[in-house]
Amino acid sequence: MEFLTALGINSTNTGTSTGSTWIQTKGENIHSISPVDGKLIGSVTATDKEGYEAVMAAASKAFAEWRTWPAPRRGEVVRQIGEALRAKKSDLGQLVSYEMGKSLQEGLGEVQEMIDICDFAVGLSRQLHGLTMHSERPGHRMYEQYHPLGIVGIISAFNFPVAVWSWNTMLAWVCGDLCVWKPSEKVPLCSIACQNIINEVFEKNGVPEGVSCIVNGGRELGEWLSHDSRIPLISATGSTRMGKAVGAAVGARLGRSILELGGNNAIIISKDAELDMSLIGAVFGAVGTAGQRCTSTRRLIIHESVYDAFKAKLVKAYGQLKIGDPLDQNNHVGPLIDKDAVNQYLSSIEKCKAEGGVFAVEGGVLEGDGYESGCYVKPCIAEVQNHFSIVQHETFAPILYLIKYSNIDEAIAYQNGVPQGLSSAIMTLSLREAEQFLSSAGSDCGIANVNIGTSGAEIGGAFGGEKETGGGRESGSDAWKAYMRRQTNTINYSTKLPLAQGIKFDL
Ligand code: NAD
């Protein structure tokens, strides 16, 4: 496989790095098995305590220098990373697709997202602005400025093996921070490839060792990071279970966290919806990445007057889906990440049936030629009630739930009636319904769309969600502020020292 060689991936790889230095550790081997064909792609040595300490020492040391680089100079490094990613887009897209199992188009799209956030961060590096205020005291000036925080610990999930890291790092780097990345143990090779790409650019620009670090391992490594008071900010992406543990550990030491956790995203299909357009949004949202996006469409809340017609369209569309090797561009749906995920999918189907769900399209595991990895499943559709406990829960697989409604208030109540609050959408040509959905009494999610589906965000907006999704925001808009510390400055250029609030203090 040429893309592995092009990305510097070997059959055995060191999983701990401070940049150009790869640290040998005595950790166990993490084997990366492709869900596409069940074959071993390569192994990565996990980070042990000694390796972790070496990384933390290098990152702490690098901060003294990196924070003094002018932000536009750091931005220039990020611009070159964008160029390096453009050159490696095809190779890295193929690795993402082969190691994680998403379609090649989505793998390439993920690398494009990395390039986009580089471009965004380059512009940002000439801004990072605070406000100025008028002081109540004569001869005084007030303003605020933003300074780098230090080390940012990044814990990422398997389903976006490279993009989530770049959303965090590109902003953190222009802000003057250092990054220590712990990727998901299910996709460790993507982290090695990213570090190799970064290293060439960093070396050319004399970036200090320790600005881009990786540590590899499972939950334990994530726990080391979350408990480590040398790390002022932890950005963690993954399940709500993980986010509760990380949030508690970081909170206990009064650190900061950005939590990007599970979703349970719905599209409302109104009686005034354009049904053919809605179909594309719903099907891509439900089966894209085999239902393993945090923004995947899990629920369709459909008006009773169009319910049967829309269900018939869905059933027909599901009948045309091609499931198989995601690197073959003729296929729509690839595999789940591993057999554990397949078992969770099967058990959710059973639970749904036990609660009274009726399947309009049946699920099941595929067997035979091309399905040897055991990770390919059929996308399925169940008619349910919103209150079923299985519907309230995020199953990370292509199971789509249909819920019928009769008026818009009821639809919005269903949409909001789950513990998660990431992405939401309404398909309608009614201005009144659209505005109600977007109003303060409408969707309670971090993302609310009109006439597009729930998945596929652009990097320009802040990304994240409410409630059990964790409340964090990453990527565009002013998400960069989370990566810096704010300082308020008051300067007295008068010859007196008047106190605020007119307080008198004479000596
Ligand atoms: P996961 O929670 O199993 O693992 C995510 C990461 O957390 C991994 O690196 C893992 O090693 C680490 N981890 C696990 N337990 C930990 C602990 N107690 N302390 C510290 N680190 C710990 O999630 P996953 O299966 O890799 O990914 C799927 C989940 O991620 C879904 O719930 C999905 O919705 C969510 N997700 C959310 C977003 C978002 O932006 N909101 C984006 C992608 C994925």
SS3 66: helix
Is 8's pLDDT higher than 90? yes
Q: Per the structure block, which two tokens stand in for 163?
A: 């993009």
pLDDT at 149 (0 to 100): 98
63 and 129 in contact (C-beta within 8 Å)?
no
Query: Could you tell me if residue 24 is inside a domain?
Result: yes
pLDDT bracket for residue 148 (50, 70, 90): very high
Residue 398 maps to which CATH number? Answer: 3.40.309.10
Query: Could you tell me if residue 148 is inside a domain?
Result: yes
Percent of the chain with pLDDT over 70: 100
Query: Could you tell me if residue 459 is inside a domain?
Result: no
Looking at the structure, tell me whether residues 319 and 346 fall in a common domain.
Answer: yes
Query: Could you tell me if residue 324 is inside a domain?
Result: yes
Looking at the structure, tell me whether residues 333 and 200 fall in a common domain.
Answer: no
Looking at the structure, tell me whether residues 279 and 412 fall in a common domain.
Answer: yes
In 3D space, the residue among 453, 456, 343 whose CA is nearest the CA of residue 400 turns out to be 453
Quick check: CB of 166 below 6 Å from ligand 1? no
Average pLDDT over residues 303-319: 98
CA of 113 to the centre of ligand 1 (A): 20
pLDDT at 422 (0 to 100): 98
Query: Could you tell me if residue 85 is inside a domain?
Result: yes
Atom of ligand 1 nearest to the CA of 294: 34
Is 456's pLDDT higher than 90? no
Quick check: CB of 46 below 6 Å from ligand 1? no
Write the residue with the smallest CA distance to atom 13 of ligand 1: 219
Average pLDDT over residues 63-70: 98
Instruction: Please tell me the distance from the alpha carbon of residue 279 to that of residue 293, in angstroms, as a whole number.
Output: 18
Is 72's pLDDT higher than 90? yes
Tell which one of 30, 106, 168, 219 to mutate to probe ligand 1, the residue whose CB is within 8 A of the most ligand atoms.
219
CA of 237 to the centre of ligand 1 (A): 5
Average pLDDT over residues 119-123: 98
41 and 99 in contact (C-beta within 8 Å)?
yes
pLDDT at 70 (0 to 100): 98
Looking at the structure, tell me whether residues 478 and 339 fall in a common domain.
Answer: no
What residue type is 446 in one-letter code?
G
Looking at the structure, tell me whether residues 245 and 318 fall in a common domain.
Answer: no
Is 74's pLDDT higher than 90? yes
Q: Can you spell out the DSSP letters for 274-293?
A: -HHHHHHHHHHHHHGGGG-S
Residue 6 maps to which CATH number? Answer: 3.40.605.10
Known catalytic residues are 260
Is 390's pLDDT higher than 90? yes
Looking at the structure, tell me whether residues 401 and 333 fall in a common domain.
Answer: yes
pLDDT at 137 (0 to 100): 97
pLDDT tens digits for 365-385?
A: 999 999 999 999 999 999 999
The total of structural domains in the chain comes to 2
For residue 144, which phi and psi values (nearest 5 degrees)? -125, 150
pLDDT at 489 (0 to 100): 98
Average pLDDT over residues 275-293: 97
Query: Could you tell me if residue 496 is inside a domain?
Result: no
Quick check: CB of 191 below 6 Å from ligand 1? no
Average pLDDT over residues 290-310: 98
Quick check: CB of 185 below 6 Å from ligand 1? yes
Chain-wide mean pLDDT for the chain?
Answer: 98
CA of 262 to the centre of ligand 1 (A): 8
pLDDT tens digits for 315-329?
A: 999 999 999 999 999
Quick check: CB of 159 below 6 Å from ligand 1? yes
Write the residue with the smallest CA distance to atom 20 of ligand 1: 222
Percent of the chain with pLDDT over 90: 99
List the domain range (segments joined by +) for residue 396: 265-450
pLDDT at 1 (0 to 100): 87
Query: Could you tell me if residue 43 is inside a domain?
Result: yes
Is 389's pLDDT higher than 90? yes
Looking at the structure, tell me whether residues 107 and 237 fall in a common domain.
Answer: yes
Counting every residue written for the chain, the total comes to 507
- Determine how many CB atoms are found less than 10 A away from the CB of residue 358: 11
Query: Could you tell me if residue 462 is inside a domain?
Result: no
Looking at the structure, tell me whether residues 30 and 161 fall in a common domain.
Answer: yes
SS3 42: strand
Strand 40-45 to strand 29-33: parallel, antiparallel, or no bridges (unpaired)? antiparallel
Looking at the structure, tell me whether residues 146 and 281 fall in a common domain.
Answer: no
Atom of ligand 1 nearest to the CA of 226: 20
ipTM of this complex? 0.98
Looking at the structure, tell me whether residues 128 and 252 fall in a common domain.
Answer: yes
Quick check: CB of 479 below 6 Å from ligand 1? no
Looking at the structure, tell me whether residues 223 and 350 fall in a common domain.
Answer: no
Looking at the structure, tell me whether residues 272 and 256 fall in a common domain.
Answer: no
